[in-house]
């Protein structure tokens, strides 16, 4: 089984895996539009974390983890708890490059606009100002942005949205 990571699972997977590789999904873009009342913020002052939003023009790059089939159910149960604040499981085609055929399907978690924690779009400078002031049990919201930016850079994945917010944070 494969798991697609596009946010904190890239730099903090918290589960055992057999293989890790760069991967892309088509039809989705990464955006800091989801509220986090449990990791990078608290109830009443949620942080902003990434979710996937539909996009015909912009593929989303991240990484794919292949996990041992014998451990898959236990890993999914742990990740369902970790991604509980508005996220739901999705199965998506995984590509080595956006223009190539898929190499597998992978499970990921998406927080859609109808969930109670969805914060929606803001200009990137305003997102940076927002995350600068937030902190939760998993650390500061700004660290989340900067760790994600660094992890994407290490994978060779360009994401203009993440780059712009990180630039405004500095």
Catalytic residue numbers, as ranges: 83
Question: DSSP letter string over 3-51?
Answer: EEESSHHHH---S--SEEEEEEESSEEEEEEEEESSSSSBTTB-EEEEE
Q: Which residues contact 106 (CB under 8 A, 6 or more apart)?
A: 1, 2, 3, 4, 23, 64, 91, 92, 94
């Amino acid at each position: 089984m494969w798991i697609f990571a596009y946010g904190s699972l890239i730099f903090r997977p918290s589960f055992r895996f057999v293989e890790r590789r760069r991967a892309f999904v088509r039809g989705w873009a990464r955006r800091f539009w989801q509220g986090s009342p449990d990791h990078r913020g608290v109830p009443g002052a949620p942080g902003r974390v990434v979710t996937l939003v539909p996009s015909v023009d912009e593929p989303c790059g991240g990484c794919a983890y292949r996990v041992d089939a014998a451990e898959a159910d236990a890993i999914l149960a742990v990740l369902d708890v970790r991604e509980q604040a508005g996220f739901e499981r999705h199965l998506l085609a995984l590509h080595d490059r956006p223009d190539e055929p898929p190499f597998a399907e992978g499970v990921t978690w998406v927080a859609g606009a109808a969930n109670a924690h969805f914060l929606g779009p803001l200009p990137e400078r305003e997102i940076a100002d927002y995350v600068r002031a937030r902190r939760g049990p998993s650390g500061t919201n700004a660290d989340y942005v900067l760790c994600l930016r660094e992890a994407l850079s290490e994978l060779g994945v360009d994401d203009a949205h993440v780059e712009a917010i990180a630039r405004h944070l500095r």
